[in-house]
Amino acid sequence: MDKSWMYSTRRSSTQYVNGVESFLDFAFDKSSNGGMILCPCMQCHNRFHFMRGEVYDHLICWGFQRGYSNWTSHGETREASSSSTASNHEKGDYQHDMNELLHDLFPTTPMEGSNLDIGESEVEGEDNLNTQPSMQSNQNNFDDLLKDAEQKVYANAKHSKLSCLVYLYHIKCLNGWSNKSFSMLLEFLQDLLPEGNLLPKKNHEVKKIMAKLGLGYEKIDACPNGCMLFWNDKVKEEICSVCGASRWKTMEDISEHGVGPQKKKATNILRWFPLKPRLQRLFMSSKTSNLMKWHHFERVRDGKLRHPADALAWKDFDKKYPEFSNDPRNVRLALASDGFNPYRTMNVAYSIWPVFVIPYNLPPWYVMKQPNFILSLIIPGPKGPGNKIDVYMQPLIKELEDLWDVGVKTFDASVNENFYLKAAVLSTISDFPGYANLSGWSTKGEYACPLCAFDKSSRWLDHGKKWCYMGHRRWLHTNHCSRKDTRSFDGYEELRDPPNPPSGVVSLNQLEHVDFLVDNVEKSPWKRKSIFFKLPYWKNLLVRHNLDVMHIEKNVCDNIVGTLLGQAGKSKDNMKARLDLKKWGIREELHPKNNPRNNNMYLPKACYEMTRDEKDLFLRTLKSIKPPDEYSSSISHCVQLKDRKLMGMKSYDCHMLMQEYLPITLRGTLPDHVSRILIDLCDFFKRICLKDLTEDDLKFLESRIAITLCKMEQIFPPSFFTVMVHLVIHLVREVRLGGPVTFRWMYSIERDLSTLKSYVNNKAFPEGSIAEGYMARESLTFCSRYLSGVETLFSRPIRNDDVDIQNEIEESNFLRPGRPLGKHENSQPSNRKRKRFPKSDIDERSLKQAHRYVLFNVNSITPFRE
């Protein structure tokens, strides 16, 4: 069937409309479920079921989702399948699901009807494609799984043994059942099903079978003090060669009964999840192999920043390494890491550091989703690794070196061929303390800003006993009048140019005489030479470590709110801050003054300081905000009217406060010149978080934020300007080089950390619980792509199901202008009075035609349509 009309013709053309009709005829013939099919438009992505008219409207208005030229979700098999597996796949065809799963999981294993087998590989002998650690173990696993896929779970059953276990285990993992509850269900099903059924009785029996579908991990013993790994050529050593600590939990020698080291338990164990087979699986699966080439074939190139591939760092990397960029299947990665307490309590000090790898090849709507995060390392607690994180990173860095130099032979299911897969890490994602751990540059003290580096703008506050980071006039135009204004700023003229962030080559030259894995470089902000410099391309990257907008925005919000409300411990305006102003000789109106009545010192009121009535108005306005469901958390829970405080705000609360609520609540509570500057800052954060930006937008933001920060220097005391406030000046550069902030901030990482935290069932071994939980999720993610007729990770309905609500509206014979975004009501009668509207005389089809005519023919909406 010719499908060129899907992406190459205008959606208003007759050819496209006829093509949509042919698609709907095919889909409703092959995959209809109660008169509904999955909608493959750009908005729905085969996640939601709709009637024919709704799907037709979606496809005309928004078009097909990218890369969906093979209608596998609507009854069409993938092109690589042979005649035996190319039969029409209907919903509920569980045997077809399992055959497709095994075909992708073992592409080089001979299967009935397969067009590839071991003897037909491109290379004979030792060079045959080996997508798993052992070809023999692959063959054994495949034989076992194929046998389970052919055996019915009981006579005349729809499900085979394998499909039944996959579906049951999928439901267990998706809904968070405990192992005991799952074993109890299996025991009940044993009694419920006919005698002689093949269903296992215990959870551990199911896990053994599911393990053959997953990818394992390795345990590597480490020194209790994090000095070295007992790995590679040191795997048999029992004493740390650096500090002399024992590898084992006990110092006892081998007993007379022959209990050797293999019987002992290590004190510190690193969990390593090899990256190569996980990247291979992305191409071996027919469900994801096309998506891994989206950045090259499907990306729109119109000069806007929508994806890391549109940014300068990606393009510069392609120019420097054309051999790598020539094959679009080579993977660009981001590496993310952060620590978390697995016990959900602050009473126990424990910190586990997982390390994630994120493939950037995927489309924007898939990149930062949790199912696509690859867990690479679990660095054990109870203390964070700190500067010794490089010791734990050695297996991953060694693997990344191999993926750059040699690559790994992989099967591409989309084109049915083998190729050498290579990969490169383009940058890291972390909070600011994590930035110090990964980069080796100290993010505290005089040289805390890693982008200003030795060309710093920090000054010491004698009374505040800390460093402040002002000097933002350097980013103003050369002839700007504020550069020579000494009284309004820090008492000095500013004639310097903006600093040039040090390149990787410059940083490497500064560490020329420092060895890897050596801490505490004397008299330098460098604490060590980062192990990432072992990667041949690392020194040539434009952005090696990203600044996290999430934490920067939260810290700026905390500074603003704490200072405006005068919260104790959070306000940056206090006696020490005013004494520093006096010592600098600036802003005399704010200097502490003596009260003539009692000779006590008092602080004059500042323009940014709210009165009690203004605080009450500000907080009451926040208290009254009722955001839509799933839009943000209820910020009213953080408002304490009695104490005039905002307490307990999380990162996303600060995000919404800065971008939506603060510009509203500031009006009428502060002088215009103060509120205007703060609103400009809020607008900057809102604009820089947009999903598409042009170079003109970035130039405007770059000049605007410099002016905004300089005006803030004229209003707020120097203690307000912590390093996190200063980092705002560098965010535009980061976007220009690295791409939109949504691909480089910590929100998605923090959500995944919360998921890992939920895997801790055995508090005595939190790292082991997380590893096993992740392995189950990894198998679930892979299998979910092949399950039809059941809710999966990729087809879970949204919280507000429009289909049910639309049915409710049609049944109740009235129209309402809107609906609450919370849990929708059942179709049962309600005591609430509903406003009724007269029904339109025009029929539904004519109304949709009129709406479509407006979309394609009214000039005022042309830019939105384009």
Those residues whose C-beta lies under 8 Å from the C-beta of residue 699, and which sit 6 or more positions away, are: none
81-90: average pLDDT: 37
pLDDT of residue 113: 31
Least confident stretch, 290-304, 362-376, 494-508, 847-861: 847-861
59-80: average pLDDT: 75
Q: Tens digit of pLDDT for each residue in 650-701?
A: 999 999 999 999 999 998 889 999 999 999 999 999 999 999 999 999 999 9
Asked if residue 761 lies in contact with residue 769, where contact means CB atoms within 8 angstroms, the answer is yes
pLDDT of residue 129: 37
Check pLDDT > 50 for residue 832: no
Where do we find the tokens 């919360």? Answer: 754
pLDDT of residue 595: 83
3-state secondary structure (DSSP) of residue 99: helix
- Integer Cα distance of 513 and 367 in angstroms: 39
504-528: average pLDDT: 86
Q: Tell me how far CA of residue 819 lies from CA of 29, 799, 805, 822, 848, in angstroms.
A: 34, 14, 9, 9, 21
Strands 331-337 and 423-429: parallel
pLDDT band at 127 (very low <50, low <70, confident <90, very high): very low
Most confident of 56-65, 207-216, 442-451, 809-818: 442-451
The structure tokens listed for 15 are 């050819």
Where do we find the tokens 């806007």? Answer: 304
- Integer Cα distance of 105 and 127 in angstroms: 19
- Integer Cα distance of 699 and 689 in angstroms: 15
Rama region for 173: left / alpha / beta (φ>0; ψ in -120 to 50; rest): alpha
Phi first, then psi: give them for residue 444, nearest 5 degrees: -130, 155
pLDDT of residue 539: 94
Q: Tens digit of pLDDT for each residue in 693-723?
A: 999 999 999 999 999 999 999 999 999 999 9
3-state secondary structure (DSSP) of residue 421: strand
pLDDT of residue 138: 67
pLDDT of residue 844: 78
- Integer Cα distance of 619 and 657 in angstroms: 12
The structure tokens listed for 102 are 């095994």
Among candidates 810, 794, 792, which has minimal Cα distance to 802?
810
DSSP string for 444-501: SSTT--TTTTTS--EEEETTTTEEEE--GGGGS-TT-GGGG--TTTTSS---PPPPPP
Asked if residue 411 lies in contact with residue 418, where contact means CB atoms within 8 angstroms, the answer is yes
Check pLDDT > 90 for residue 554: yes
pLDDT of residue 838: 53
Check pLDDT > 80 for residue 740: yes
Q: Tens digit of pLDDT for each residue in 354-378?
A: 999 999 999 998 999 988 999 999 9
- Integer Cα distance of 164 and 198 in angstroms: 10
pLDDT of residue 139: 67
Q: Which residues pair with 356 in a beta bridge?
A: 336, 375
pTM over the 0.85 mark: no
Where do we find the tokens 């990964």? Answer: 438
pLDDT of residue 534: 95
- Integer Cα distance of 377 and 388 in angstroms: 14
Asked if residue 95 lies in contact with residue 163, where contact means CB atoms within 8 angstroms, the answer is yes
- The four Cα atoms 85, 90, 95, 99 give a dihedral, to 10 degrees, of 40
Asked if residue 353 lies in contact with residue 385, where contact means CB atoms within 8 angstroms, the answer is yes
pLDDT of residue 133: 42
pLDDT of residue 659: 92
Asked if residue 587 lies in contact with residue 581, where contact means CB atoms within 8 angstroms, the answer is yes
Which H or E element spans position 8? helix 5-8
Those residues whose C-beta lies under 8 Å from the C-beta of residue 605, and which sit 6 or more positions away, are: none
Most confident of 49-53, 348-352, 449-453: 449-453
Asked if residue 476 lies in contact with residue 483, where contact means CB atoms within 8 angstroms, the answer is yes
Where do we find the tokens 């693997």? Answer: 399
Those residues whose C-beta lies under 8 Å from the C-beta of residue 617, and which sit 6 or more positions away, are: 668, 669
- Integer Cα distance of 165 and 169 in angstroms: 6
- Integer Cα distance of 338 and 433 in angstroms: 9
Asked if residue 371 lies in contact with residue 748, where contact means CB atoms within 8 angstroms, the answer is no
Among candidates 556, 568, 617, 279, which has minimal Cα distance to 420?
279
174-199: average pLDDT: 88
Q: With pLDDT > 90 as the criterion, what percentage of the chain qualifies? A: 45
Helix count (H) and strand count (E) of the chain?
30, 16
Least confident stretch, 302-311, 399-408, 512-521: 512-521
Determine the angle formed by the axes of helices 94-105 and 161-175, rounding to 10 degrees. Answer: 80
DSSP string for 266-313: BSEEEEE--HHHHHHHHHHSTTTTTGGGHHHHT---SS-BSSGGGSHH
- Integer Cα distance of 662 and 818 in angstroms: 27
Asked if residue 16 lies in contact with residue 56, where contact means CB atoms within 8 angstroms, the answer is no
Least confident stretch, 441-455, 513-527, 607-621: 513-527
Considering the chain, what is the average pLDDT of its residues?
84
